[in-house]
Structure 1
Amino acid sequence: MAAGSRAEILGKLRAAVPRHAASLAPQGTGFRVAPAADAAEISVRFAERLAAARGTLERVGPLAGVPGAVARYLADQSLPARLNVAPELRPLLDFSDGALAIDEALPIADGRAVLAGCIAGVAETGTLVVVSGPEHDPRLNYLAETLIVLVGAGQLVEAYEDVWKRLGVPGNGIAPRLVSFITGPSRTADIEQTIEWGAHGPRRVHVLISDETPT
Structure 2
Amino acid sequence: MSESSRDAVLARIRQGLAAGPAALPPRPDFTTPVHPPLNDPDPVVAFAESFQRVGGEFYYCESLAHLAAQLAGFRQRQQVGAPYVWEPAMQALLAEAGVAFRADEMEFIEQADLSLTSCEALVARAGSVLVSAATASGRRLSIYPDQHLVLARPSQVVAEIGDALQLMQRRYGAQLPSMVSLTTGPSRTADIEKTLVLGAHGPRRIALFLLEEE
Using the size of structure 1 for normalisation, the TM-score is: 0.75
Contact 1:59 1:210 in 2 (8 A): yes
Instruction: Answer yes or no: is 1:50 the counterpart of 2:20.
Output: no
Tell me which amino acid in the other structure corresponds to 2:42.
Answer: E
Instruction: Answer yes or no: is 1:190 the counterpart of 2:182.
Output: no
> Equivalences for 1:1-215 in 2 at 5 Å?
22-23=27-28, 27-28=30-31, 31-32=33-34, 34=36, 41-77=42-78, 79-87=79-87, 88-94=89-95, 97=98, 100=100, 102-105=102-105, 107-110=108-111, 112-133=113-134, 135-168=136-169, 172=173, 174-212=175-213
The separation in 2 between residues aligned to 1:66 and 1:170, in whole angstroms, is 27
The separation in 2 between residues aligned to 1:36 and 1:110, in whole angstroms, is 40
Q: Percent same amino acid among aligned pairs?
A: 27
Contact 1:149 1:208 in 2 (8 A): yes
The separation in 2 between residues aligned to 1:65 and 1:74, in whole angstroms, is 14
Does 125-134 or 99-108 show the bigger shift?
99-108
**Residue 138 of structure 1: CA displacement?**
1.7
How many pairs are equivalent?
189
The separation in 2 between residues aligned to 1:169 and 1:209, in whole angstroms, is 23
Tell me which amino acid in the other structure corresponds to 1:122.
Answer: V
Secondary structure at the aligned position of 1:190 is classed as: coil
Distance verdict in 2 for CA 1:170–1:86, change over 3 Å: closer
Tell me which amino acid in the other structure corresponds to 2:104.
Answer: E
Aligned-CA RMSD value: 3.0
The separation in 2 between residues aligned to 1:150 and 1:85, in whole angstroms, is 11
Unpaired stretches in structure 1, ≥5 consecutive residues: 1-18
The separation in 2 between residues aligned to 1:117 and 1:171, in whole angstroms, is 16
Tell me which amino acid in the other structure corresponds to 2:195.
Answer: T
**Residue 127 of structure 1: CA displacement?**
0.2
Tell me which amino acid in the other structure corresponds to 1:156.
Answer: V
The separation in 1 between residues aligned to 2:33 and 2:152, in whole angstroms, is 27
**Residue 146 of structure 1: CA displacement?**
0.8
**Residue 32 of structure 1: CA displacement?**
4.3
Unpaired stretches in structure 2, ≥5 consecutive residues: 1-23
**Residue 171 of structure 1: CA displacement?**
9.9
Secondary structure at the aligned position of 1:93 is classed as: helix
Secondary structure at the aligned position of 1:94 is classed as: helix
**Residue 52 of structure 1: CA displacement?**
1.2
Tell me which amino acid in the other structure corresponds to 1:27.
Answer: F
The separation in 2 between residues aligned to 1:200 and 1:158, in whole angstroms, is 27
Contact 1:63 1:212 in 2 (8 A): no
**Residue 172 of structure 1: CA displacement?**
4.9
Using the size of structure 2 for normalisation, the TM-score is: 0.75
**Residue 49 of structure 1: CA displacement?**
1.1
The separation in 2 between residues aligned to 1:193 and 1:33, in whole angstroms, is 30
**Residue 63 of structure 1: CA displacement?**
3.9
**Residue 161 of structure 1: CA displacement?**
1.4
